[in-house]
Amino acid sequence: MYIGFKHLHSFLAYILLAALIFSLIYAIIKFVKRSPFNEKVRKVALIGFIASHLQLLIGIVLYVVSPWGLSSLSGDIMQDSFARLLALEHPLTMLIGIVLISVGYIKAKKPGDDARRFKTIILFYTLGLILILSRIPWQVWP
């Protein structure tokens, strides 16, 4: 079960990164062209929102069943940088990144100035993406 969820989590990470980058680029292009914030823009932003939450759900399950996750939290783990990354830094930073993406999507859905809505998506999705990229365990990611 652990190996299956680990592979699924790694595979979905590619989809998440592609969805976030696509959502960001789309929002930037529409903002630069001064296009209206319409239903299509909201749905493109929703792609990144859904992908991040799907990845979070799989990550939570993996964190519970993984030998590097919940069961490995102890004082000894703080001395090993790789174990600390997998057990503490990766999940916490990813959670913060997904919260930022969620806040950006929710704030952009509210009616108002189109430019403000685009800026909200661009800012929060960029911050979320930076946090996600900063704590991917690159040395073990296939």
pLDDT of 80 reads 82
pLDDT of 15 reads 95
pLDDT of 123 reads 97
Nearest to 51 by CA among 114, 97, 111: 97
pLDDT of 50 reads 97
**pLDDT digit string, tens, across residues 95-142:** 999 999 999 999 999 998 999 999 999 999 999 999 999 999 887 776
Residues 27, 138: Cα–Cα separation, whole Å = 28
The pLDDT of 32-49, averaged and rounded, is 96
